[in-house]
Amino acid sequence: MDLFNNICTGDTYKMLIGGKWVKSSSKATQDVYSPIDNAVIAKVQRATVKDADKAVKAAYDARDKIGKMPAVDRAKMLTEIGELIYDYFDLFVDLIIEDAGKPKNVAKGEVTATAERFKYAAEEAKQITGESMLGDTVPWHKEKVGMVMRQPLGVVLAISPFNYPLFIASAKIAPALAAGNSVVCKPASSDPLAVMYLARLIQEAGIPDGAFNVITGSGGEIGDFLSGDKRVRMISFTGSSSVGERIAKIAVFQKLHLELGGKAPALVLADADLNIAAKQCISGAYKFSGQRCDAISRILVEKKVADRFVKKLLVEAKKWKMGDPAEAGVKIGPLIDARAVAKVDSLVKDAKKKGAKVLLGGKEAGGNYYEPTMLDKVTTKMKIAWEETFGPVAAVIRVKDYEEAISIANQSEFGLDASVFTQDVDKALDAGMQLEDGTVNINAAPAHGIGNFPFGGDKDSGMDREGIKFSVDEMTKVHTIVFNPKK
Q: Name the residues that contact ligand NAP, by CB under 6 A.
A: 159-163, 168, 186, 188-189, 218-220, 223-224, 227, 238-240, 243, 246-247, 259-262, 293, 388, 416, 457, 461-462
Q: Quick one: 223 or 284, whose CB is closer to ligand NAP?
A: 223
Contact 186, 160 (CB under 8 A): yes
Whole-angstrom Cα distance, residue 5 to residue 23? Answer: 15
Whole-angstrom Cα distance, residue 143 to residue 486? Answer: 9
Point out the residue whose Cβ comes nearest to ligand NAP: 223
In the complex, the smallest distance separating the C-beta of residue 192 from ligand NAP, rounded to whole angstroms, is 8
Q: Quick one: 26 or 275, whose CB is closer to ligand NAP?
A: 26
Q: Which of 83, 264, 69 is nearest to 178 (CA)?
A: 69
Going across the sheet that includes 232-238, the strands are 20-22, 15-17, 212-214, 182-186, 155-159, 232-238, 255-259, 462-463
In the complex, the smallest distance separating the C-beta of residue 93 from ligand NAP, rounded to whole angstroms, is 19
Q: Reply yes or no on whether 259 is catalytic.
A: yes
In the complex, the smallest distance separating the C-beta of residue 442 from ligand NAP, rounded to whole angstroms, is 20
Q: Which residues make Cβ contacts (< 8 Å) with residue 268, sequence separation at least 6?
A: 274, 277, 281, 299, 300, 301, 302, 305, 309, 421
Q: Quick one: 80 or 437, whose CB is closer to ligand NAP?
A: 437
In the complex, the smallest distance separating the C-beta of residue 87 from ligand NAP, rounded to whole angstroms, is 27
Between CA 391 and CA 372, with CA 291 as vertex, the angle to 5 degrees is: 35
In the complex, the smallest distance separating the C-beta of residue 220 from ligand NAP, rounded to whole angstroms, is 5
Q: Quick one: 83 or 224, whose CB is closer to ligand NAP?
A: 224
**Range list of β-strands (E), 46-103:** none
Contact 321, 392 (CB under 8 A): no
Q: Quick one: 291 or 422, whose CB is closer to ligand NAP?
A: 291
DSSP label of 466: B
Residue ranges in 303-457 assigned as alpha helix (H):
303-317, 338-353, 402-410, 425-434
Strands 232-238 and 255-259: parallel
Which one is catalytic: 110, 293, 316, 466?
293
Which one is catalytic: 80, 98, 124, 259?
259
Q: Quick one: 52 or 128, whose CB is closer to ligand NAP?
A: 52
Q: Reply yes or no on whether 293 is catalytic.
A: yes
- Helix or strand run (H / E) with residue 86: helix 71-87
Per-residue 3-state assignment (H helix, E strand, C coil) for 222-289: HHHHHHHCCCEEEEEEECCHHHHHHHHHHCCCCEEEEECCCCEEEEECCCCCHHHHHHHHHHHHHHHH
In the complex, the smallest distance separating the C-beta of residue 128 from ligand NAP, rounded to whole angstroms, is 24
Q: Quick one: 103 or 456, whose CB is closer to ligand NAP?
A: 456
In the complex, the smallest distance separating the C-beta of residue 211 from ligand NAP, rounded to whole angstroms, is 21
Residues carrying an active site annotation: 259, 293
